[in-house]
Amino acid sequence: MSEHIGAKMTEQPIDAVEWVARETIRPNDYNPNKQPPPEFRLLKVSILQDGWTQPIVVFGDVIVDGEHRWQVSADPDIAALTGGLVPIVRITGDINHRMMSTIRHNRARGEHGVLPMAEIVRSLLDGGMDSESVQSLLQMEQEEVTRLAERGGRPEVVARTTPDFGKGWVPG
């Protein structure tokens, strides 16, 4: 059981991460969450750069949360990191609990604000990264990096990465 200084904690699923063969778990048949290809590619980059930082949540052998992590684990580069094993944690309950847990996990993700993202891009550029590296490692389109750099106070990045930027419409 986990202990915390000054307070006793109850056991949590994260206390018992298991590494299992990818083939021993399967997606559920009700998940309404779909992941667009750019975010899927970003998930692959994330695991390759940072390793597995979040386990897949399962109920029995059914995935409750982490289906996209499970899908990307079939990639040979990802599988090579762990010999084809994936990290899981287990939850219990009835089918209603399982379905509601999937929805709670999906909806609790949050959103990225434009201004904070612009500040992060500006900070990365100020720290010496070039826009192509930011684009590759964050799986952003060049236009997205350019717009965020401009919004973050780095218009010279716009001029450098978009040579025709200033040749648009001119008020007459």
Q: pLDDT per residue over 15-68, tens digit each?
A: 999 999 999 999 998 888 888 898 999 999 999 999 999 999 999 999 999 999
Section 9-19 average pLDDT: 91
Angle CA(103)–CA(104)–CA(110) in degrees, nearest 5?
Answer: 105
Q: pLDDT per residue over 103-152, tens digit each?
A: 888 778 766 678 877 888 888 888 888 889 888 888 788 888 888 888 88
pLDDT for the residue numbered 15? 92
pLDDT for the residue numbered 123? 83
Q: Whole-number mean pLDDT of the chain?
A: 84
Confidence bin at 84 (pLDDT 50/70/90):
very high
How would DSSP label each residue in the chain?
--EETTEEPPP-GGGG-EEEEGGG-B--S-------HHHHHHHHHHHHHH---SPEEEETTEEEE-HHHHHHTTSHHHHHHHTTEEEEEE----HHHHHHHHHHHHHTT----HHHHHHHHHHHHHTT--HHHHHHHTT--HHHHHHHHHHTT-HHHHHHH-TTGGGS----
